[in-house]
Amino acid sequence: MSELPVKKSRDEHRGGASEYDLELGRRMGEDARRVAAGEMTQSEFYAKYHEDVLEEFGEDERDPGLEGEGIDG
């Protein structure tokens, strides 16, 4: 039986011990706030980061946010 991966603590991530691109996470977080504020659509967010997410994680299972966009409601 294989062991499950252990999640890193917040302190490990703050100390720069993350195996992931922290700058990518920071940029995505800033733009996620823009999506929440209505300054950027979810599909624009998806398109902007799709290639970076593929490169970083090898897959992109995020919702592209295409459903319902462009419909006045």
Task: Give per-residue pLDDT as tens, 24-64.
Answer: 999 999 999 999 999 999 999 999 999 999 999 899 888 88
Q: Of 16-20, 36-40, 51-55, 69-73, give the lowest mean pLDDT range.
A: 69-73
Domain count, the chain: 1
Handedness of CA 63, 66, 69, 73 (dihedral sign): negative
pTM for this one? 0.64
Q: Of 1-15, 37-51, 58-72, give the lowest mean pLDDT range.
A: 1-15
Does 39 map to a domain? yes
Does 29 map to a domain? yes
Does 12 map to a domain? no
| Contact (CB, 8 A) for 18 and 12 | yes
Long-range contacts at 48-56 (CB < 8 A, ≥ 24 apart): 49/24, 52/21, 52/24, 56/20, 56/21, 56/24
Does 28 map to a domain? yes
Domain that holds residue 44: 21-57
Does 7 map to a domain? no
Q: Would you say residue 73 has pLDDT above 50?
A: no
| Contact (CB, 8 A) for 55 and 71 | no
